[in-house]
Amino acid sequence: MGMDYYNILKVNRNATLEDLKKSYRRLARTWHPDKNPTGGAEAEAKFKQLTEAYEALSDPEKRAIYDQYGEEGLKGMPPPGSQSRTSTAAGPSGPSNFRYNPSDADEFFSDFKASNKHYSFSRDRTGFQPRTHWTSARNSRKETSSGPQKESGASTSQLEKPMPVEKTLLCTLEELYNGTKRRMKITRNVAKPDGKIEVETEVLAVDVLPGWKKGTKITFHDKGDKLHGQLPQDLTFVLDVKPHDVYILEGNNLLVKQVIPLVDALAGTAINLKTLDGRDLPVRVEEVVRPGFEVVLENEGWPIRKEPGKKGNLVIKFEVIFPTRLTSSQRTAIRRIMGG
């Protein structure tokens, strides 16, 4: 039986191209020979299998053939138990006139990194070297293990990436709703060639996009401290939000607490809300407002980042204020009106 490419990449058979990329990137961190120097032949074999599986499944034509005929059909081999190991006729034994020869794993991975920059390994604590260094790095390990080693400065691949420094970026609810641009002055420690530490300042332009929420992180690579013996530190702004006088954000819904007197709860009322984008939003209530009564306005809530043009709901929760005392005439009038 041929290799199960889906199982190798730890994805299901309905996986999208994005799912395949993410899984390939994650598993390559574990099995790439430069990231797993002690793994030896096992790591190299695993990495080759990962690359072969991703190369096949990320190509629609190869994937269609693999899904129908398996690895044997993809590589032009009849399945186990067939009469001929060289048959190429279309049918149960596989597609005709098609041969899949997996690429060199290192070359393919180098192309993958170049064409998928947002899948860069630079966020790892140690980044991968360019392919031109992979072979020399492995050969160097073999050569120095059999002879005396010379002390030298640490290469970039041997330096550790420190944890990002995090700074809070406090925004109003209006700024997160509509989006905003902020200019943030930052400082960092920089080691100079003579060993002295100097403090540098820089102003960063931070774009806060509409619909971002508290806890969203905005990372500026290599904008933190730059010290000897480690890679430059990343700087991350973490969004926080100031309390709002009217609105509370809950999921993708905006909540409003509206207090009304008993007479409005019984006779109806009209309220006017100022939305977070500055609009006047009149709301007419003609029903009798009972305990727990809510008015839900669709698509007047929080912008949904993954669905442009769509918003959550605006939920108005009413609280009724009862009078603390009534005169005799008021009591009589109420009984007459209410039929009591």
Question: Residues 293, 296, 300, 303: is their CA dihedral positive or negative?
Answer: positive
Q: Which residue has the tokens 């990002």?
A: 164
Q: Are 165 and 224 in contact (CB under 8 A)?
A: yes
The letter for the amino acid at 233 is Q
Secondary structure (3-state) at 189: strand
The letter for the amino acid at 65 is I
pLDDT tens, per residue, the chain with 340 residues? 578 999 999 989 888 998 899 988 888 888 887 776 777 788 888 888 888 989 889 988 888 888 888 887 777 655 445 444 443 434 444 454 445 566 666 666 666 655 554 444 433 333 343 333 333 333 333 333 333 333 334 455 578 889 999 999 999 999 999 999 999 999 999 999 888 999 999 999 999 999 999 999 999 999 999 998 889 999 999 999 999 999 999 999 999 999 999 999 999 999 999 999 999 999 999 999 998 899 999 999 999 998 989 999 999 999 999 999 999 999 999 898 887 6
What is the pTM for the complete model shown?
Answer: 0.52
Q: Which helix (H) or strand (E) holds 333?
A: helix 328-338
Q: Which residues contact 220 (CB under 8 A, 6 or more apart)?
A: 204, 234, 235, 236, 237
Edge-to-edge strand ranges of the sheet holding 314-321:
247-250, 253-261, 314-321, 294-297
Give the C-alpha separation, 5 to 1, whole Å: 12
Q: Which residue has the tokens 């630079």?
A: 122
